[in-house]
Chain A
Amino acid sequence: MTSSEEMPHEGTEAAGPPADELALVARAQTGDTAAFDELVTRYRQRAFSMIYHMVRNEQDAWDLAQDGFLKAWKNIGRFRGQSSFYTWLYRILMNVGIDWLRKKQIASGTEFDDQIGLHNIAPGAMTVPRSELEPAGRISDQEIRTRIDAAIERLSPEHRAVIILREIDGLEYSEIAEQMECSIGTVMSRLFYARKKLQAMLKDVYENI
């Protein structure tokens, strides 16, 4: 599988790395912190968003996004230009997010029961019965966010990653597989279970907005 030369598409940037990006990276590789600062400025929002989607907390996302950039700075000499800088950075950020989630899981003694929790959900089974509208009416935007955060919190780091990369970042299966260093089949299988689990928890939300 070859590395994509395009940045993960969010619909706002032109295909292919900007012409001066390689120059900035080359300068940063010689220790030019101003050049690296420019790269941070370009990608900070996307980096923050990516981590936020994983950890669902602004302060943690702030810290972890910084950790990701610092890791990129320390290893920038190893960037070979075989992919875009953002693709390379994205992978670092994802690992930072997944590591943090794993450590948090071990520290809290909780388990992500992606496998065990799906005993009752056979692959072809319907998830939950269709719910009726509450007489009180619409759920507020803040409540929706809270519900989404709580639902994603229940997913394992790998399942969170595939849902975010697919549903929010809009990556293709092959791009997700490359980012997560796994096969396309694994990506699709994880998506299946992640969707099932989220549907079970959020069906009443998306049916009532």
Chain B
Amino acid sequence: MKTFEERTTAWIDGQLTGAELAAFEKELEAQPEAALDRAGARQLGDLLRTHGTAPPLANADFFNLQIQQRIAAGTPPQPRAEVGQSGGFLWSLPRLLWAGAASLVVAGVLYVALVPAAQPFIEPSNYFAQVVEAWPSDPSISATTVYNPQDNLTVLWIDGMDYMPSEQLALQ
């Protein structure tokens, strides 16, 4: 059964019909001001539509230009289609060997420089928990890391997850 709030919203928007409407209006007989509230909600809607609209986008072409500049400065999109072959084998065998050897050297230097040899983690740390990188799994999900230094909290703020009724929880 819908909650009172849901039925009120539907009633204001003229979405209640038939027996449900009759029952709800009977319930509201004890609240004579409810009709004024509905009128007020509708006036509110009119107000927002009339006076709450957004201004036109100024310098619209500049808006486009800035986006193009930011795209040019950033990474390309994840391609859906295969990138067209540019004809010919780009990397010859010697070049591949060069690239492989150079990568191994870099990896070796980093390994020696950064990886502590057989030293366990003992040293205490006072740093925040840190989300180094977060990759949402689809565009409807957004993930933002928020640090709150005053409260010493790190929050990964996710939007776009499915709502859950509380009845599904096994509260302890």
Contact = CB atoms under 8 A, between A and B. Distances in A.
Interface of A: 26, 28-31, 33, 36-37, 40-41, 44-45, 48-50, 52-53, 58, 61-62, 65-66, 69-79, 88, 91-92, 95-96, 98-99, 102-103, 106, 109, 123-127, 130, 141, 144-145, 148, 152, 163, 167-168, 173, 181-183, 185-186, 188-189, 191-193, 195, 198-199, 202-203, 205-207, 209
Contacts of A36: 71
Given A75-B139, A98-B159, A145-B51, A44 B64 contact: yes
Interface residues of B, number: 67
B47 A53 contact: no
A interface majority secondary structure: helix
Contacts of A148: 47-48, 51-52
Interface string B58-78: 101001101110111011111
A72 B140 CA distance: 10
B44 A202 contact: yes
Nearest to A78: B139
Nearest 6 interchain pairs by C-beta: A77-B78, A49-B54, A192-B5, A52-B54, A126-B33, A95-B142
A92 B140 CA distance: 6
Interface string B134-172: 000011111010101010000101011111000000000
B interface majority secondary structure: mixed
5 contacts: A44-B60, A62-B63, A99-B159, A102-B157, A192-B8
B163 A66 contact: no
A183 to B, nearest CB: 5
Nearest to B139: A75
Nearest to B155: A106
Contacts of B139: 71-72, 75, 78-79, 88, 91-92
Most chain A beta carbons < 10 A, residue from B43, B44, B72, B157: B44
Contact of A76 (B10, B77, B163): B77
